Chains A and B, each alone.
Chain A
Amino acid sequence: DIQMTQSPSTLSASVGDRVTITCRASQSIGTWLAWYQQIPGKAPKLLIYKASNLESGVPSRFSGSGSGTEFTLTISSLQPDDFATYYCQQYNNYSPTWTFGQGTKVEIK
């Protein structure tokens, strides 16, 4: 099974900061990587799919990059609504499964 590891697990930042979250896959997944934001008590919301494609309606301060085994989610200028937990998710086309990273909580500094 493909494992997904996010770092850091927790991140303290201030409004206006540039924030980067990393997700590593245990084997190459091409660009089958999505990012989600989850606010406490709410359902996850899709931000990025296919590693770098911004979902419709998602602010442009969010961006994704990477391929193979290493991926990043960047928030260019952190806003108050962005304090949340972020998950990466991979899709394995060969043995169809969907696996999430353990999450990165972005906290107010």
Chain B
Amino acid sequence: QVQLVESGGGLVKPGGSLRLSCAASGFTFSDFYMSWIRQAPGKGLEWVSYISTTGQTIYYADSVKGRFTISRDNAKDSLFLQMNSLRAEDTAMYYCARGLIRDHFDYWGQGTLVTVSS
């Protein structure tokens, strides 16, 4: 069955860095677009970043541009999010999500929690 398992979250101080990972299984990873989407505690959903099937096309939300870097390793069925210069407002549950068609996300992982606090 389809599985997306995020890891790498935790508590980090403002200005610090974290690298999130998303391990995919149960489907042909290289066929799917991938995105990171976050949800601050008690808040709604915010798209963070997108990467195409080959990794050649990448987009970021303005709120993270220049600080976050998305990447993927199709040989290892894995998605990554390098987060630098973290701020308190980056505190959220981070989900990885896939899409066969670019406009929507048909399966989401269970998320990894990132807390930015001194």
Which of B16-24, B42-50, B71-79, B84-92 lies at the interface? Answer: B42-50
Interface size in chain B (residues, C-beta < 8 A): 21
A68-109: CB near B (< 8 Å → 1, else 0) gives: 000000000000000000010101010011111111000000
Q: Which residue of A lies closest to B61 (CB)?
A: A97
User: Is A49 within 8 A of B46, CB to CB?
Assistant: no
Q: Which residue of B lies closest to A100 (CB)?
A: B45
B83-118: CB near A (< 8 Å → 1, else 0) gives: 000000000000100000111111111110000000
A87 to B47, CA, bound (A): 13
**B46: which A residues are within 8 A, CB to CB?**
100
A interface with B by C-beta (< 8 Å): 32, 34, 36, 42-46, 49-50, 55, 87, 89, 91, 93, 96-103
